[in-house]
Structure 1
Amino acid sequence: MITINNFEEYKTYEGKLLGVSDWHTIDQQQINRFADATLDHQWIHVDQQKAEQEGPFKATIAHGYLTLSLIPHLWKQIADIRNVKMEINYGIENLKFGQPVLVNSEVQLQAKVKSINNLRGVVKAVIEATLHIKDNVKPAYVGDVVFLYHFA
């Protein structure tokens, strides 16, 4: 894990790979809880029997937005941004889903600092986030996550 204490330290990582998170297994219980939270109970996510018999992947798959919602958890395993009064998830740009995440797959976030700018006291960091699926060449997604930081 990389520790970053201020804008100047963050800026030294611009254009560089920060690292990767631990592997995280997405199981059916997590998929079901996400379905309940978002009211998205499409059978391809929650009906294991139908997914095995009729689905194109022969298993349930994680919601795309479930995989995105893992970014804060997995990001905290890559970078410890300190001396921050407030951190804001500002957006995601240029996101492309490349591969579905089958139930019980392990995923890992890779983070690279695309750009970092000090906008009159608010630091805007654009992080290229790639979610890898264990034993798959193609990632689940690639996109630019934008964070705003108010350093103390």
Structure 2
Amino acid sequence: MSSLATAIETSQKLIGTEVGVSNWITVDQKMIDEFAKTTHDEQWIHVDPERAAKETPFGGAIAHGFLTLSLASRFAYDCFSMMEGQVMGINYGMNKLRFLMPVVAGSRLRGRFTLVDAKARDATSMLRTNTLTIEIEGNETPALVAEWLGLAVFKD
């Protein structure tokens, strides 16, 4: 049996199960400010903590939704390793994404992955679909929930 076939068979047995929980990452004001500069999105709710504390219900500055989403790659590194015969993993996009709760500066986040589907895409790759939930420490409502597609590429 090929490495790809073995990986698909193994992955399909895990469908519906939680396959990883990452370490916590603190999203501090410095990270938010750097992201704002990089993306040219310097809206005051992100970069002016004093004003955000006074004029929003959040109690301070909040992270960009896309900053929170961008941490998904870091969370995946904590949870997934290369499968036998795999030569690379490629971000293949999202099917669904919802931002459910703002992330206040200083919050700690982690990613939780549940495998939804795993199937061959072609002769050398497997498409895996995971539900990613990015949790905020101490909050029942997560920051976001997304259906994330990842392509695992194998050598022939």
Under a length normalisation based on structure 2, what TM-score does the superposition of the two structures give? 0.89
Are the counterparts in 2 of residues 116 and 125 from structure 1 also a CA contact under 8 Å? yes
Matches within 5 A, 1:43-122: 43-82=44-83, 83-121=85-123, 122=125
Distance 2:58 2:96 in 1: 26
Q: Please, which runs of 5 or more residues in structure 2 have no aligned partner?
A: 1-5
1:129 and 2:102 correspond: no
Instruction: Provide, for residues 47-68 of structure 1, a one-character-per-residue CA deviation record: whole Å limited to 9, x for no partner.
Output: 1111112122120001000000
- 1:45-104 deviations in whole A, cap 9, x for unaligned? 001111112122120001000000001111111111233223221111221111001000
Higher helix share: 2
Aligned residues: 148
Which residue number corresponds to residue 138 of structure 1? Answer: 141
**Which has the greater radius of gyration?**
2
- Contact kept, 8 Å, 2:121 with 2:127, in 1: the verdict is yes
Q: Distance in 1 between matches of 2:16 and 2:109?
A: 23
TM-superposed CA distance for 1:21, in Å, is 0.5
TM-score (norm 1): 0.91
Counterpart of 1:138 in structure 2: which amino acid?
A: T
Q: Give 1 or 2: higher strand fraction.
A: 1
Instruction: State how far apart, in whole Å, the 2-side matches of 1:81 and 1:16 are.
Output: 19
Deviation track 1:112-141 (CA, whole Å, cap 9, x = no partner) reads: 000000122221000100011111011111
In the alignment, structure 1 segments of 5+ residues that lack a partner are none
Structure 1 SS opposite 2:73: helix
Quote the RMSD (CA, aligned, Å). Answer: 1.4
1:149 is matched with: 152
